[in-house]
Amino acid sequence: MPIQTIEPRRLYRQIADQLRLLIEAGEFPAGARLPPERDLALKLGVSRPSVREALIALEVEGWVEVRMGSGVYVRSLAGAPSASLTAESPLETIRARRTIEGELAAQAALNPAPALVEGLREAVNAMEDEARAGSVPIRGDRLFHLRVAEMANNAVLVRVVGELFDERHNPLSVKLGDYFENPDSWAVAITEHRRVIDAIAAGDEQGARAAMHEHLSCSYDRLTASWPGAAEALR
């Protein structure tokens, strides 16, 4: 069964399904190492980030095992893999958030009431407290983004921001975070949040938009960086 080109409009689910079919057909038997990300991306005609999401989806479903510094290996099919994931793409979600939340930050800068700005600082302080306690600072992070949205005085957009943020809890996002987020990356993210606050507090509409865009672009880049300790087999 030859590898087929994936149409650009398709997402990680279609890539994962094609790789799963190849595994089921014996093209990649149990114990075999899959080709590196870049080779799969070239053969499938898609981006490496999309391949990464597909591989992690297959890992969550039980089809493959990611061995850091070695590669992605097909697992024994003695145990039935779990049902296919239907979660939203974490990377597409970040791109959507960048579009929406950049404008919300700009609107927040038009209403930089001291009490509201202090609420943003409290949220980031909560992130720092969570990080110091050894926890992933998700609660403070969520609070920050919701409070920026609330400053735009639009309940619908607040709900949308909350729903998009909560996609971080889907299995694909959680696994991506396990691999690519760490205390150092969160420290950088906290600094990015403070830049957003500074621009909002200054009433700098363009600066607030740019700071939020930069933060979410950096979030995307962190999840698409080289695998930690990556060997050639993973790249």
Alpha-carbon distance of 172 to 16, in angstroms, equals: 12
* Cα-based distances in Å from 151 to 12, 57, 145: 34, 36, 10
DSSP string, 191-214: HHHHHHHHHHHTT-HHHHHHHHHH
pLDDT at 8: 46
pLDDT at 91: 94
Helix axes 12-24, 37-44, angle to 10 degrees: 100
pLDDT at 234: 52
pLDDT at 189: 97
For tokens 């209403």, the residue is 111
Question: Which domains occur in the chain, in start order?
Answer: 12-74 (1.10.10.10), 90-223 (1.20.120.530)
Alpha-carbon distance of 31 to 58, in angstroms, equals: 15
Backbone angles phi, psi at 31, to 5 degrees: 90, -15
pTM to 2 decimals? 0.88
pLDDT at 86: 77
Alpha-carbon distance of 98 to 93, in angstroms, equals: 9
**pLDDT tens, position by position, for the chain (235 residues)?**
667 665 544 579 999 999 999 998 999 999 999 999 999 999 999 999 999 999 999 999 999 999 888 899 999 875 556 667 778 899 999 999 999 999 999 999 999 999 999 999 999 999 999 999 999 999 999 999 999 999 999 999 999 999 999 999 999 999 999 999 999 999 999 999 999 999 999 999 999 999 999 999 999 999 998 776 554 445 5
The torsion defined by the Cα of 201, 196, 153 and 157, in degrees rounded to 10, comes to 180
